[in-house]
Amino acid sequence: MAYWLIKSEPGCFSIDDLAAAPDRTTGWDGVRNFQARNFLRAMRLGDGLLFYHSVTDPGVVGLAEVAREAYPDATAQDPDSGHFDPRASPDKPLWDMVDVRFVAKFPAPVPLAALRGVPELAGMEVLRKGSRLSVTPVTDREFAVIRAMGLGQGGPGTR
pLDDT values of the chain reduced to their tens digit, one per residue, 159 residues = 999 999 999 999 999 999 999 999 999 999 999 999 999 999 999 999 999 999 889 999 999 999 999 999 999 999 999 999 999 999 999 999 999 999 999 999 999 999 999 999 999 999 998 888 999 999 999 999 999 999 997 655 443
Pick the CATH number of 3-150 from 3.10.590.10, 3.30.565.10, 3.40.50.1100, 3.40.630.30: 3.10.590.10
Q: How far apart are CA 56 and CA 65, in angstroms?
A: 24
Which candidate, 134, 39, 43, 30, places its Cα nearest to that of 83?
A: 30
Stated length of the chain: 159
Residues whose CB falls within 8 Å of the CB of residue 138, separated by 6 or more in sequence, listed in order: 3, 4, 5, 50, 124, 146
Which candidate, 116, 136, 133, places its Cα nearest to that of 146?
A: 116
Taking the domains of the chain in order of start, what are their residue ranges?
3-150
